[in-house]
Structure 1
Amino acid sequence: MEAARSEKVSLAHHKIYTEILIDASPDVVWSVLTDTGSYGDWAAFLVDIKGEIRDGTQITTVFQVDPAKEKLTTIDHRITVVDGETFFWAEKGPGGIRDNHHFRVEPAAEGKTRFIQSDEIMGGITWLMGGRLAKMYEDGYQAFNRGLKAEAERRARAK
């Protein structure tokens, strides 16, 4: 199961929601999600996180917004973490855009996991580029989710 949608709340406010069902336990999915050193092996769009996924720490995220181009976008974030369940940041980034980006791991039936990646972008130049950014983020988050699914299911089978 996979779902994705974006919603234009206003001219300068867009919401993005993606989810995927993963045939692995929440513990396995969380371990892959927080194993930032392995992102280079499986992650798309969000291709690297430098730093530890721990409450209150600062991380540096590396995005490849357009897979057809080599250009990478690097942004520093202070994160909030509920261990084993979620991590997120809510800060202003390039162009003055406020980004409320969430990663959530939820138990699902039969030992599976629902992984949800959502975001809200608002303010700054969102009024100008919000629709285009929301679509790029939705596509990128889906690619990331598929990579996470493949890696978590691979690790679950290897156990």
Structure 2
Amino acid sequence: MTPSPDGTATTLSKTFSRTTQVATTINASPASVWHVLTTAADYPRWNSTVVSLDGEIKPGSTIRLVSTLDPGRTFKLKVKEFEPSRRLAWGDALGTRVYTLAETNGGQTLFEMNERIGGPVFPLFASKIPSFEASFEQFAVDLKAAAETAS
């Protein structure tokens, strides 16, 4: 399932997992978008879906994220993939969020974000997890604005 780059999030739910994704085209280079995505201290400034993000976004590090979806909970997430200006992934035992950047022929960046959550016990708590679609759409809007302003 490849997302359309129109900024509309979609979700595919299965018995043992749920995957939400969004894509948008950003009028900035992948390097500029990467800089915004990997500067942890700036997240609360540009990203209205994040309450706080502590730690450094670098290979193998652990960050502590508080989201507006569940502001009473701090997610401890390990940076699992780190390919500058191309791919970033972080997550925990239940899920992984992947960000991919690809330069278009016009010098823009195609940004895609997807998150898969799940596992053997997923059906037991799936109904308690809010939809990510509105949050993903807002993340894409906020990232686009921040990267286009910075470049």
Change (3 A) 1:22 1:75: same
Q: CA deviation at 1:37?
A: 1.5
Structure with bigger helix share is: 1
Please give the TM-score of this superposition, normalised by the length of structure 2: 0.85
8 Å contact from structure 1 (residues 7, 15) kept in 2: yes
8 Å contact from structure 2 (residues 7, 140) kept in 1: no
Q: CA deviation at 1:113?
A: 0.5
Moved more, 43-52 or 138-147: 43-52
8 Å contact from structure 1 (residues 14, 131) kept in 2: no
Q: Which residue of 1 aligns with 2:133?
A: 138
List alignment gaps of at least 5 residues for structure 1.
93-97
8 Å contact from structure 1 (residues 15, 134) kept in 2: no
List 4+ stretches of structure 1 deviating above 6 A.
none
| Alpha-carbon separation, structure 1, partners of 2:130 and 2:105 | 30
Aligned amino acid, residue 117 of structure 2: I
Q: CA deviation at 1:75?
A: 1.1
Where 1:15 maps in the other structure, the secondary structure is strand
| Alpha-carbon separation, structure 2, partners of 1:143 and 1:56 | 27
Cα deviations across residues 56-113 of structure 1 (Å, max 9, x unaligned)? 11111121106xxxx3421111112112212212422xxxxx1121112221231111
8 Å contact from structure 1 (residues 65, 73) kept in 2: no
Q: Which residue of 2 aligns with 1:39?
A: 43
**Among residues 49, 53, 61, which one is paired with 1:49 in the alignment?**
53
Q: CA deviation at 1:129?
A: 4.7
8 Å contact from structure 1 (residues 89, 100) kept in 2: yes
Aligned amino acid, residue 24 of structure 1: A
Please give the TM-score of this superposition, normalised by the length of structure 1: 0.81
**Among residues 133, 145, 148, which one is paired with 1:150 in the alignment?**
145
8 Å contact from structure 1 (residues 14, 120) kept in 2: yes
Change (3 A) 1:63 1:57: same
Q: Which residue of 1 aligns with 2:87?
A: 86
Q: Which residue of 2 aligns with 1:95?
A: none
Aligned amino acid, residue 2 of structure 1: G
Change (3 A) 1:17 1:149: same
Where 2:111 maps in the other structure, the secondary structure is strand
Query: How many pairs align?
Result: 145
Q: Which residue of 2 aligns with 1:127?
A: 123
